[in-house]
Amino acid sequence: MKVVCDRSILSDAFQMALGVVNARSPKPALQCVKIESTKKEVRLLATDLEVGIRVSLTEGMDVSQGGEALLPGDRVGAILKELTSEKVTLAVEETSAVLETEDSRFAIMGDNPASFPSVPDFGKDGATELEAEALRGMIRRTIFATAREAARYALNGVLWEIDGKEVRLVATDGHRLALAKGECKGGKSAGKVSAIVPTKAMQLIERSIQDAETVEVQIGEKELLVKAGRVVIYSRLVDGHFPKYEDVIPKDSDKKAKLDTAAMLSAVRKASLLTNEESRGVKLTFRAKQLVLSSRAPEMGEAKVTMAAEFEGTDDEFDVAFNPYFLIDVLKVVAGETVTLQLKSANKPGLIREGNHYVHVIMPVNIL
């Protein structure tokens, strides 16, 4: 194989592929990026067996001899980042490769391309089309709420539901739940389809579709495939049962506060400064036109922050406490200038709404 490449295009594609490579894998092939070239294109493939990526390059690639190579991802990626030349020549003989510019030459030992596992490609039928930026927004609004504990396997991912023209992404860790809604641009769905997609795959999708206008999605029995321009992402699905999330969303809240998003985020951050592991809670005291956020931690002190708020409820004054870091997480991803916080009682979940397309459920905490 011999290819003269635009260095920046090849380097960017390599960095994208490295988002999948497992540098600590006991299998050498999984520490590598596979390169395939034909007269028409150059393809980069990477996988950790759970998640995979294909990046197809046509622009800036001059292929004089087709072939394939399996090269160590971290080393080649680092070399491409350090090079400053516009063009780089990649020549491969058996399992060794040479990367060369006018002032640099790197001889790299690779591996046998036949040892690299297959990475599924995008199918021809049954795709649903979404706007890329809308999907990225939905991912940002949900991914932070996934569980981190390995034991909660079914919660270690984001639930996708596609039903006709509507798509929903849902994530929960048992203490909070995020639900984002969007619309499909086109495609056909055979009834309602759902899948739990691992957090790592969701992160990869968000990074990989930022330059695309639209994405196509295919959900199978055991895998999800996402195509965005030159990139195809593959992910195995999480095997498990996602909770009945609709039962968790409060429907009987009788108190409502309209809050300025930026002001609320700033106030929560300030109040959180005097919390610790033992007293990780900020109390919210609502009055008709005012919200007071307060916190207290032994041997640290106490904080009180006041801001304007529009509060409607059956009580003249109402108290509830939340983990401030959970509040910060959701307020950071809200795009609107205002949010609505709906409440029932101090020991019932709170509901944060942004329009009709985003809801976030957050469990209260007890503070002494």
DSSP 152-165: -GGGSEEEEEEETT
Tokens encoding 173 = 């860790």
Residue at 65 is within a domain: yes
- Among 246, 266, 300, give the residue marking a domain's end: 246
Tokens encoding 358 = 């985003």
Residue at 122 is within a domain: no
Please give the backbone phi and psi of residue 262, each rounded to the nearest 5 degrees, phi first: -65, -40
Q: Do 100 and 12 share a structural domain?
A: yes
Q: Do 263 and 197 share a structural domain?
A: no
Distance of CA 125 to the CA centre of its chain: 26
Quote the pTM value: 0.90
Geometric angle at alpha carbon 118, from 188 and 116, rounded to 5°: 155
Q: How many domains does the chain have?
A: 3
Residue at 164 is within a domain: yes
The predicted structure's pLDDT at residue 272: 94
pLDDT category at 44 given cuts 50, 70, 90 is very high
- Among 57, 88, 115, give the residue marking a domain's end: 115
Q: Do 202 and 110 share a structural domain?
A: no
* Measured CA distances, 337 to 160, 340, 353 (Å): 27, 11, 12
Greatest Cα-to-Cα distance within the chain, rounded to the nearest angstrom: 79
Q: Do 351 and 308 share a structural domain?
A: yes
Q: Do 259 and 241 share a structural domain?
A: no
Q: Do 275 and 205 share a structural domain?
A: no
The predicted structure's pLDDT at residue 307: 97
Tokens encoding 76 = 């080649």
The predicted structure's pLDDT at residue 237: 95
Q: Do 221 and 287 share a structural domain?
A: no
Residue at 121 is within a domain: no
Cα separation, 269 vs 281, whole angstroms:
12
The pLDDT of residue 187 is above 80: no
Residue at 367 is within a domain: no
The predicted structure's pLDDT at residue 276: 82
Q: Do 261 and 228 share a structural domain?
A: no
Residues 67-119: tens digit of each pLDDT: 999 999 999 999 999 999 999 999 999 889 999 999 999 999 999 999 999 99
Task: Classify residue 181 as exposed, middle or buried by CB count within 10 Å of its CB (0-12, 13-18, 19+).
Answer: middle
Whose CA is closest to 134, among 200, 192, 193, 217?
A: 217
Residue at 123 is within a domain: no
The predicted structure's pLDDT at residue 189: 56
Residue at 223 is within a domain: yes
Tokens encoding 181 = 């809604």
- Among 86, 115, 144, give the residue marking a domain's end: 115
Q: Looking at residues 168-188, what average pLDDT do you find?
A: 90
Q: Do 239 and 256 share a structural domain?
A: no
pLDDT category at 313 given cuts 50, 70, 90 is confident
Q: Residue 34: which CATH number?
A: 3.10.150.10
The predicted structure's pLDDT at residue 277: 77
Residues 341-365: tens digit of each pLDDT: 999 999 999 999 998 999 999 999 9
Residue at 328 is within a domain: yes
Residues 158-173: tens digit of each pLDDT: 999 999 899 999 999 9
Range of the domain at 29: 2-115
Bridging pattern class, strands 223-228 and 290-297: unpaired
Would you give the DSSP letter of residue 337? S
Q: What is the mean pLDDT of the chain?
A: 92
Whose CA is closest to 19, among 48, 49, 56, 41?
A: 48
Q: Do 352 and 326 share a structural domain?
A: yes
Q: Do 353 and 307 share a structural domain?
A: yes
pLDDT category at 366 given cuts 50, 70, 90 is confident
Q: Do 223 and 134 share a structural domain?
A: yes
The pLDDT of residue 129 is above 60: yes
